[in-house]
Amino acid sequence: MMNVLFLCTGNSARSIMAESYLNAAGGHFTAYSAGSTPTGTPNPFAIKTLEKTGVGVRTGDGGPPASKSWDVFAAPDAPIMDVVITVCDNAAGEVCPVWPTRPGEAAPRKLHWSFPDPAAAEGSDEEKLAVFKQIFGDIRAKIDGLIAERS
């Protein structure tokens, strides 16, 4: 099983959608998400997008969706990450914590996938939801590539 951590600044939209989709895809992965400056709650449009696409919210720990600090995953008792993926440019430019590793193993593989922030979308609720669906489609395509790479 490969553990994947998706990072974003607020951990309210892109990272939550990525975590849920990879967990829904099953296979050899368990996904988690976190943020450098978590908002405290997932964006309702992210949750609605996951529900409308049939993915639903699927957290790595099986609990309810939450916006949490990346410090949770730097703790000694945290799950060991194999891959850490930043999904926003702001988080990619920040100094990340040191992630725990398995004895004798290197630090997790780090990737950066740049996606626009759907939470910045303006307009009606329908227009905002359309932006979230577009970004979710882009996230899904990148994750499908990661899954194919592992197969």
Q: Which of 16, 18, 57, 88 is catalytic?
A: 88
Catalytic site residue from 4, 5, 7, 8: 8
Q: List the catalytic residue out of 2, 25, 66, 96.
A: 96
DSSP string, 22-86: HHHH-SSEEEEEEESS--SS--HHHHHHHHHTT-----TTSS-----BGGGGGSTTSPPPSEEEE
Active site includes 88? yes
* CB within 8 Å of 111: residues ≥ 6 apart: 83, 84, 85, 86
The verdict on whether 110 is a catalytic residue reads: no
Helix (H) or strand (E) holding 112: strand 109-112
Residues linked to residue 33 through DSSP beta bridges, in sequence order: 6
Q: Catalytic site residue 16?
A: no
Active site residues: 8, 88, 96
